[in-house]
A and B are shown apart, each in its own frame.
Chain A
Amino acid sequence: MVEFEPKIIGFLCNWCSYAGADLAGVSRIQYPPNIRVIRVMCSGRVDPVIVLEMFADGADGILVMGCHPGECHYLEGNLYAERRIKMLKRLIACTGLEPERLRLEWVSAAEGSRFADIVTDFTNQLKSLGPSALAGEKPDENILSCVRAAERAAGTSRLRTLVGREKKLTEEENVYGEKVAQEEFDELMEESVKEEYLRSRIYLLAKDESISIEELTKHLSADSEIVLRHIVVMKRRGLLKMDRIEGDNPLYTALEAI
């Protein structure tokens, strides 16, 4: 049997980790050829939407690399990346895909061997983990729809705003001059991620054809009461409408985003 060769996408920041990868080359340190590097100026440029889209397309692993904390060429871009990845991991955990398929690492321009070690280790880890459920000819339809939902959730203004404000709220102060405790914020984040994820799933299920709460509950293995609550919010936001009623079940359908 041919050994499984994971497909890995590496997002490398131009200044530290890309230079570290170049140094691995200059030093001729050998590592598995599974990684495909995408150069970005800063790890802070890696949009969660892109990462989830890559998973949907069958990437077995995604490696985001930036400068060590305190060494970011753009001061704190790497720390923003760290917050986003944290949020992303929460989202991925909802989908049934293994969160360890996404990894964030710091590599400096002087760490060629560290770069090679990380790539080798990640490749081996993915090999033992096996192919992604979304890789290959027949991706797992269920997980794929979950990842699509996560992707949509990652693009929502709610989650993006929260990640964007996290530093200010937890490290500096909010508009009332108060500092929000990290644990408190994490809880809010966890809840928001779960809600936006569920709403996105509802939205996508209702996109192709009208669907009842009963069916949604089955698909999502969620409580019907909660599903209804989300539907109410989504209707208010203009994301859903009641299409028609069949028997005692109203059917909902998604609206195109305005």
Chain B
Amino acid sequence: MKDKVGAVLVVGGGIAGIQAALDLADSGFRVYVVEDTPSIGGTMTQLDKTFPTNDCAMCILAPKLVGAGRHANIHLITNAEIRKVEGEAGNFKVTVTRRARYVDSEKCTGCGVCAQECPVEAIDEYDEGLNRRSAIFVKYLQAVPSTFIIDREKCIGCGTCQEVCRADAVRYEDKDEHVELNVGAIILAPGFEEYNPSLKSEYGYGRYPNIVSSIEFERILSATGPYSGVVLRPSDGKIPKKIAFIQCVGSRDETTGNTYCSSACCMYGIKEAVIAQEHTPGVECTIFFMDIRAYGKEFDAYYNRAKEEYKVRFVRSRIPKVEEVPGSRNLLVRYVAEGELKEEEFGLVVLSVGMRPPKYAKELAEILGIKLNKYNFCSTNTFSPLGTSRHGIYVCGAFAGPKDIPESVAQASGAAAEAASIIASERGKLATVKKLPPEKDVSGEKPRVGVFVCHCGINIGGTVNVPEVVEYAKTLPDVVYAEHNLYTCSEDTQKRIREKIEEFNLNRVIVASCTPRTHEPLFRETVREAGLNPYLFEMTNIRDQCSWVHIREPKKATEKAKDLVRSIVAKARLLRPLKKPTVNVIPAGLIIGGGIVGMTAALELARQGFEVHVVEKEKELGGHLRTLHYLLEGEDPKEQLSKTVKQVMENDKIHVYLGAQVVDVSGFVGNFKSKIMFNGEEKEIEHGIIIVATGAVEYKPTEYLYGLDLRVLTQHELEEKISKEEFKAEKVVMIQCVGARTKERPNCSRICCGQAIKNALKIKEVRPETDVYILYKDVRSYGFKEDYYRKAAEKGVLFINYDDERKPQATNENAKLKIKFWEPVIKTEVEIEPNLLILSAATIPNPDNKQLSEMLKVPLTKGGFFLEAHMKLRPVDFATDGVFLCGMAHSPKYIDESIAQACAASARAATILSKKALEMEGIVANVDEDLCSGCRICESLCPYSAIEMKEQTEEKRVAHVIEALCKGCGVCGTACPTKAVTMGHFTTDEIMAQVKATLVEEIKA
């Protein structure tokens, strides 16, 4: 076998590809990202907001794009495609064609003068055809890379762009270029394609201007879109009074061949309806749906809010046809509801289009030698959700089946782990260390402050008068430069900031924009690249805590923004450079929970060369999987379980503690020390990271006679019965959502619909004559599971809808089990006498979560599952460094999804474990030894034992801060009787100056 190569190729630069690239690059591998379009970012860049947090998509994505763009170990190859792949896992040779761009990326500054002067216009694909761009263009405002490109098909060759380009970047002679890459593994993240709704001609898309696709509607909603975020009709630019959303366009539809469910459309439809009302209050939204599939974490809570707070109307009906009303150009939607044919006019119709595999999926599969499924998505299986049919090639994101962003991100990290495990031996060999200019010594210099105020599209600029804030900033003492930016976080602005630091010799930099919680690291890096100590940067939040919360008071919001800028300038003038301490990393992990998820994470870490300790409460590994006898997709869970247990037990890097419990955790990222109660003894282990994989439990129903009548079982109990060949019922009723989607537990348990369908199909297999009734609220068989729903219906399983107003009733009269329910199609109350009543009981949080969350200092959701750092982009991270989560500890999910998260958690953990030393935060406490009285109050108060006493002189002992342990909370400084302890970056002087300046409208020199 050839030598292994410590590099990975990622195909596709959307959110999934970028996440995989960042995880690998941060773990010591070189990464090439080959992207088909001229810039990375993918579909997420086109979205306005994201569910269920309503975070602005660009706001959370931009830092990742910028991070990938500037990462020393990530090489972006855009406007390019894969041509040939040779070799094998560990050593592939890949030929890539980089198509001619006609603009030199080294020289182009992204200033955009060429585009302004270009006389040729073309359809703007990014704005989904609702806008025009010039023949020389960038994909979107904040594009990474920001290099322009000439659309050769549209360009007439007039030469204007070259004439006006001051950077001399235009190259008409540019040619396609072939690049050969040598990599150890390949990750596929080419994403998806929107279903083309003009193929469903009954909806009139393409004929009627006021029918738009959901992705066009995202652009309409976006501040950077064609209508600046105001909802307008394409036919006349008027605000529509009523908007209809038609779901499942190109999904769950045999006429189109796309019988699968596209998984994300229900939620994005609801989100678009909610955001439409936020952007254009008063507009009435109606969603026409078959089932609302709000199956993800906190999704049902969002759905409920849409109904209750935003008054979005939901109508369960498949729309057969849409017609235009001549004259008004309104749209007539006919539908059947409550058994009646109805007709309603709407000003705008949004088609929630499904996801298709990428156009070039077949070609790509052929080049790579991988198998596709019958829909041309990448073929995977339950226990290997990230593996393709060819060893060394992995898949993530929508190419492995339609899915939303957090799942794509989890899969991306997971695929990174799988890729890394192949080339773990080559870690660090091809990685380059970023070279930074030496830090300028600014001590003794008078402060020279630069202020950058962000419009954030219209997020800030729509409420706060940004130019006024900039003009005001210029009047403040020591401010020598101020400007406003459309997006301060964009790559071109980062460059601008660096240039301005140089030009104006700035030694303090301020950004007034969004929250430092997400963006401070990016800006600190930027000032560091310009030779300034990163702690000479400060930030103030004029979006989340100003423009967004004072929408109706623009004047006051502007005044507040000025106050905030003034006070942060006052602080910035006093900022001092700080040093970042480093800590060594113990290259071992602690995994709490030994189910399939914990075991998978353990194997992944071990394959990457790290020691792993797995602590399982039970006397046996396997967790919840031990109770499963068969799966919907047909794989054998028992076989997989024993295989995995064997691998874990035989791996000498994995230490398993059964019947054990973690009783104490101390330390911090890189250096944890935990106590485990094992075999009646306390054992201490040291490790660098923690993965929480504690799973969830089944709800014990109190409804429908459960526990009172032995004929009432849960789905698990039924499965047990069937597997023991004890099943012989003639009539079975299943009730969905028992203990889920209730007032008490508003969210969906996600897996019960699949369980019910699985058991119904099994019944039809072992005893075809049995009648099966499934009483449901919504059938949530998302993705390819839809096929099994269809199959069950074909086999005669009866699906009957119920709602909260008319719940089914179970009674036991004279030993007869009776179920009464409302049949909505024939509109009658029906009573049947089943032999078995099966309850699809909710999946509820593990009762141990509370105690564990306190021990680890990590939060829980309202419902009691663990709460990740960010629902969209950090699905397996906790906010606390070095602690991760995966599987059902996060929320209910299927095995393949849990496994993907387990791999993801191990990839995220590897970004820490792969480093010999971590660079810590520079904000730490300092002791002025002359002022210190040696009273030891600080020592007793420090929760991290970061203060020790040392001899200053023979007679004087003083406090000393162990910087690597210090977390910078400041408790010691506030307590110090002699005020000898100061907090870096939050000194009393700095805080005092900042607060004083908010109260008094001047900064005292």
Contact = CB atoms under 8 A, between A and B. Distances in A.
Interface of A: 7, 9, 14-15, 18-19, 21-22, 24-31, 33, 36-42, 44-47, 49-50, 53-54, 57-59, 70-77, 80, 84, 108-110, 116, 155-158, 160-161, 163-165, 167-168
| Most B C-beta atoms less than 10 A away, residue of A14, A39, A84, A160 | A39
A110 B861 contact: yes
Interface in B862-888: 862, 867, 879-880
Contacts of B986: 40-41, 45
B979 A22 contact: no
B116 interface: no
Interface in B700-719: none
Nearest to A109: B859
B969 A110 contact: no
B940 A168 contact: yes
16 contacts: A24-B549, A28-B548, A29-B549, A33-B546, A33-B556, A41-B986, A44-B969, A44-B974, A45-B983, A57-B999, A58-B1000, A75-B857, A80-B975, A110-B859, A161-B935, A161-B937
Interface of B: 53-55, 278, 515-517, 541, 543-546, 548-553, 556-557, 559-560, 563-564, 567, 854, 857, 859, 861-862, 867, 879-880, 923, 933, 935, 937-938, 940-941, 943-944, 967-971, 973-979, 983, 986, 988, 991-992, 994-996, 998-1000
B970 A45 contact: yes
Contacts of B983: 41, 45
A160 B969 contact: no
A45 B973 contact: yes
Contacts of A58: 999-1000
B541 A37 contact: yes
Contact of A33 (B515, B560, B968): B560
A48 to B, nearest CB: 8
A76 B969 CA distance: 10
Contacts of B543: 25
Contacts of A14: 517
A65 B971 CA distance: 15
A160 B978 CA distance: 9
A41 B923 contact: yes
B941 A26 contact: no
A59 B999 contact: yes
| Most B C-beta atoms less than 10 A away, residue of A45, A49, A161 | A45
Contact of B278 (A28, A40, A108, A160): A28
A28 B462 CA distance: 14
Given A19-B517, A57-B996, A46 B545 contact: no
A36 B567 contact: yes
Contacts of A72: 857
A73 B998 contact: no
B999 A9 contact: yes
Contacts of A19: 517
Contact of B998 (A9, A71, A156): A9
B544 to A, nearest CB: 3
A155 B970 contact: no
Contact of B541 (A22, A54, A71, A74): A22
B517 A163 contact: no
A54 B997 CA distance: 10
A73 B941 contact: no
A42 B972 CA distance: 11
Contacts of A9: 995, 998-999
B553 A46 contact: no
Contacts of B563: 36
B977 A160 contact: yes
B994 A38 contact: yes
B55 A26 contact: yes
Given A31-B550, A33-B560, 4 more contacts: A9-B995, A15-B879, A157-B978, A165-B937
Contacts of B517: 14, 18-19, 22
Contacts of A33: 546, 549-550, 553, 556-557, 559-560
A27 B968 CA distance: 30
Nearest to A160: B977
Contacts of B552: 30
B970 A28 contact: no
A37 to B, nearest CB: 6
Contacts of B977: 156-158, 160-161, 164
B941 A74 contact: no
Contacts of A80: 941, 971, 974-975
Contacts of A108: 859
Contact of A71 (B516, B859, B923): B859
B974 A47 contact: yes
B845 to A, nearest CB: 15
Contacts of A168: 940
Given A41-B968, A44-B974, A36 B560 contact: yes
Contacts of B564: 36-37
A140 to B, nearest CB: 17
A257 to B, nearest CB: 11
B485 to A, nearest CB: 19
Nearest to A13: B969
Given A30-B551, A110-B867, A75 B943 contact: yes
| Most A C-beta atoms less than 10 A away, residue of B551, B969, B995 | B969
A26 B557 contact: no
Contacts of A42: 969-971
A164 B937 contact: yes
A26 B53 contact: yes
Contact of A53 (B941, B967, B971, B992): B992
A54 to B, nearest CB: 6
A38 B732 CA distance: 61
A77 B861 contact: no
Contacts of A76: 943
Contacts of A49: 988
A195 to B, nearest CB: 16
Contacts of A59: 999
A218 B465 CA distance: 53
A134 to B, nearest CB: 10
A218 B516 CA distance: 52
Given A41-B969, A157-B978, A57 B556 contact: no
